[in-house]
Amino acid sequence: MIAKKNYAEKAQMKKTLKMHEESSSRRKADEDVQEGAVPAYLLDRENTTRAKVLSNTIKQKRKEKAGKWEVPLPKVRPVAEDEMFRVIRSGKRKTKQWKRMVTKATFVGPGFTRKPPKYERFIRPSGLRFTKAHVTHPELRCTFCLEIIGIKKNPNGPMYTSLGVMTRGTIIEVNVSELGLVTPAGKVVWGKYAQVTNNPENDGCINAVLLV
Amino acid sequence: MAMNTVMCLLTDAEGTPLGSAMYIPHNAGHLQLINLVNTFLNNEEKLSYSFYVSDEELLVSVGTYMERNSVSVENVLKIVYRQQAVFRIRPVYRCSQTISDVHEGEILCVSFSPDGKQLASGSGDKTVRLWDLNTETPMFTCKGHKEHVLAVAWSPDAKCLVSGDRDGKVCCWDPSKGELLGNALSGHKKWICGIAWEPAHLSYPSRRFVTCGKDGDARIWDFTLKRTLIVLSGHTRAVTCVKWGGDGTIYTGSQDSTIRMWEITQQGQGILKHILRDHAGWVNSLSLSTEYVLRTGAFDHTRQVTCSDEEMKKIALERYIKAKGKVDSPERLVSGSDDFTIILWEPSVSLQPKQKMVTTARVTGHQQLVNHVYFSPNGQWIASASFDKSVKLWDGVTGKFITAFRGHANCVYQISWSPDSRMLLSCSKDSTLKVWDIGTKKLKHDLPGHKDEVWAVDWSPDGEKVASGGLDKDLKLWKG
Cα separation, A124 vs A104, in Å, equals 9
pLDDT number for residue A185 = 57
Mean pLDDT of B145-168: 90
pLDDT number for residue A66 = 65
Please tell me which of the candidates B147, B150, B406 has its beta carbon nearest to residue A39.
B150
Q: How many CB atoms lie within 10 A of CB A105?
A: 26
CB proximity list for B202: less than 8 A, separation 6 or greater: B246, B248
- Domain assignment present for residue B408? The answer is yes
CA B196 to chain CA centroid, nearest Å:
13
Indicate the average pLDDT of chain B. 84
The DSSP-derived string for chain A is -HHHHHHHHHHHHHHHHHHHHHHT-EEE----SSS----HHHHTS--EEE--HHHHHHHHHHHHHHT----S----PPPPHHHHEEEEEESTTS-EEEEEEE-SEE---TT--PPPTTT-SEE--GGGB--EEEEE-TTT--EEEEEEEEEEE-TT-HHHHHHTEE-TT-EEEEE-GGG--B-TTSPBP-EEEEEE-S-HHHHSS-EEEE--
Q: Does A37 touch chain B (CB under 8 A)?
A: yes
Residue of A nearest to B453 (CA): A38
In terms of domains, do B46 and B148 share one? no
Cα separation, B153 vs B138, in Å, equals 18
Dump pLDDT digits (tens) for A78-94.
Answer: 999 999 999 999 999 99
Please tell me which of the candidates A33, A40, A185 has its beta carbon nearest to residue B193.
A40
- The Cα diameter of chain A in Å comes to 88
- Confidence (pTM): 0.68
- Domain assignment present for residue B89? The answer is no
Cα separation, A103 vs B131, in Å, equals 74
In terms of domains, do B453 and B472 share one? yes
Q: How many CB atoms lie within 10 A of CB A30?
A: 9
Please provide residue A7's backbone torsions phi and psi, each rounded to the nearest 5 degrees: -65, -45
Confidence of residue A206 (pLDDT cuts 50, 70, 90): very high
What are the beta bridge partners of residue B122?
B109, B128
Mean pLDDT of B104-126: 90
pLDDT number for residue B306 = 65
What are the beta bridge partners of residue B476?
B98, B468
- Domain assignment present for residue B375? The answer is yes
The answer to whether the CB atoms of B409 and A185 lie below 8 A apart is: yes
- Domain assignment present for residue B104? The answer is yes
Of residues B311 and A185, the one with the higher pLDDT is: B311
Residue B389: its chain A contacts at CB < 8 A?
Answer: 186
Of residues A55 and B343, the one with the higher pLDDT is: B343
Nearest-neighbour CA in chain A from B406: distance (Å) = 10
Kindly state the DSSP code that residue B463 receives in the 8-state scheme.
S
Residue B125: its chain A contacts at CB < 8 A?
Answer: 37
Dump pLDDT digits (tens) for A98-122.
Answer: 999 999 999 998 999 999 989 999 9
In the predicted structure, residue B32 carries a pLDDT above the cut 90: no
Of residues B344 and B79, the one with the higher pLDDT is: B344
Please tell me which of the candidates A44, A184, A186 has its beta carbon nearest to residue B238.
A44
Please tell me which of the candidates A37, A185, A186 has its beta carbon nearest to residue B108.
A37
Confidence of residue B362 (pLDDT cuts 50, 70, 90): very low
Cα separation, B259 vs B256, in Å, equals 9
End position of a domain, from candidates B58, B83, B108: B83
Above pLDDT 70, what percent of chain B?
92
Of residues B243 and B8, the one with the higher pLDDT is: B243
The answer to whether the CB atoms of A40 and B151 lie below 8 A apart is: yes
Q: Are B407 and B457 in contact (CB under 8 A)?
A: no
Cα separation, B234 vs B240, in Å, equals 14
The answer to whether the CB atoms of A37 and B124 lie below 8 A apart is: yes
Dump pLDDT digits (tens) for B10-21.
Answer: 877 667 777 777
Of residues B348 and B115, the one with the higher pLDDT is: B115
pLDDT number for residue B1 = 40
CA distance to B205, B347, B380, per residue, from B329 (Å): 27, 11, 13
Cα separation, B363 vs A96, in Å, equals 68
In terms of domains, do B199 and B52 share one? no
Please tell me which of the candidates A40, A54, A185 has its beta carbon nearest to residue B191.
A40
pLDDT number for residue A160 = 94
Count of domains forming chain B: 2
- Domain assignment present for residue B139? The answer is yes
- Domain assignment present for residue B363? The answer is yes
In terms of domains, do B71 and B160 share one? no
Dump pLDDT digits (tens) for B315-336.
Answer: 888 888 877 776 567 788 899 8
Asked if the ipTM is above 0.85, the reply is no
Of residues B347 and B427, the one with the higher pLDDT is: B427
Mean pLDDT of B59-82: 74
Residue B409: its chain A contacts at CB < 8 A?
Answer: 184-186
In terms of domains, do B404 and B373 share one? yes
Confidence of residue B453 (pLDDT cuts 50, 70, 90): confident
Residue of B nearest to A38 (CA): B108
Q: Does A184 touch chain B (CB under 8 A)?
A: yes
Q: Are B406 and B427 in contact (CB under 8 A)?
A: no
Q: Does A140 touch chain B (CB under 8 A)?
A: no
Dump pLDDT digits (tens) for B425-445.
Answer: 999 988 888 999 988 888 988
In terms of domains, do B147 and B229 share one? yes
In terms of domains, do B165 and B289 share one? yes
Comparing CA positions, the residue from B153, B112, B121, B346 lying closest to residue B241 is: B153
Nearest-neighbour CA in chain A from B69: distance (Å) = 33
Amino acid, single-letter form, for residue B140? F
Nearest-neighbour CA in chain B from A177: distance (Å) = 20
Residue B74, classed as helix, strand or coil, is coil
Q: Are A196 and A168 in contact (CB under 8 A)?
A: yes
Q: Are B445 and B427 in contact (CB under 8 A)?
A: no
End position of a domain, from candidates B40, B57, B83: B83
What are the beta bridge partners of residue B127?
B143
pLDDT number for residue A54 = 45
End position of a domain, from candidates B34, B49, B83: B83
Please tell me which of the candidates B106, B194, B389 has its beta carbon nearest to residue A40.
B194
In the predicted structure, residue B81 carries a pLDDT above the cut 80: no
The answer to whether the CB atoms of A39 and B108 lie below 8 A apart is: yes
What are the beta bridge partners of residue B349?
none
**CATH code, domain carrying B24:** 3.10.20.90
Q: Does A182 touch chain B (CB under 8 A)?
A: no
Residue B321, classed as helix, strand or coil, is helix
In terms of domains, do B44 and B190 share one? no
Comparing CA positions, the residue from B145, B318, B133, B331 lying closest to residue B243 is: B331
In terms of domains, do B180 and B71 share one? no
Please tell me which of the candidates A38, A41, A54 has its beta carbon nearest to residue B371.
A41
Q: Which one of A35, A41, A58 would you mutate to disrupt binding with B, by most B Cβ within 10 Å of its Cβ? A: A41
Question: How many beta-carbon pairs under 8 angstroms link A with B?
Answer: 50
In terms of domains, do B77 and B98 share one? no
The answer to whether the CB atoms of A37 and B192 lie below 8 A apart is: no
Q: Does A3 touch chain B (CB under 8 A)?
A: no
The answer to whether the CB atoms of A40 and B430 lie below 8 A apart is: no
pLDDT number for residue A51 = 41
CB < 8 Å from B in window 71-100 of A = none
Sign of CA dihedral A72, A75, A77, A79: positive
Dump pLDDT digits (tens) for B378-391.
Answer: 888 899 999 988 99
- Domain assignment present for residue B255? The answer is yes
Q: For chain B, how many residues are written?
A: 480
Q: Are B374 and B392 in contact (CB under 8 A)?
A: no
Please state whether the peptide bond connecting residue B205 to the residue before it is cis, i.e. omega within 30 degrees of 0.
yes
In the predicted structure, residue A29 carries a pLDDT above the cut 60: no
In terms of domains, do B65 and B110 share one? no
**CATH code, domain carrying B223:** 2.130.10.10
Nearest-neighbour CA in chain A from B241: distance (Å) = 9
Of residues B153 and B410, the one with the higher pLDDT is: B153
The answer to whether the CB atoms of A184 and B389 lie below 8 A apart is: no
In the predicted structure, residue A31 carries a pLDDT above the cut 50: no
In the predicted structure, residue B48 carries a pLDDT above the cut 70: yes
- Domain assignment present for residue B88? The answer is no
Mean pLDDT of A8-31: 70
pLDDT number for residue A175 = 93
Residue B278: give the domain boundaries.
94-479
Give the pairing of strands A132-136 and A207-210. parallel
Lowest mean pLDDT among B63-67, B147-151, B300-304: B300-304
In terms of domains, do B351 and B289 share one? yes
Cα separation, B451 vs B387, in Å, equals 20
Comparing CA positions, the residue from B101, B186, B171 lying closest to residue B137 is: B101
Confidence of residue B159 (pLDDT cuts 50, 70, 90): confident
Nearest-neighbour CA in chain A from B173: distance (Å) = 21
Residue B411: its H or E element: none
Mean pLDDT of A132-151: 91
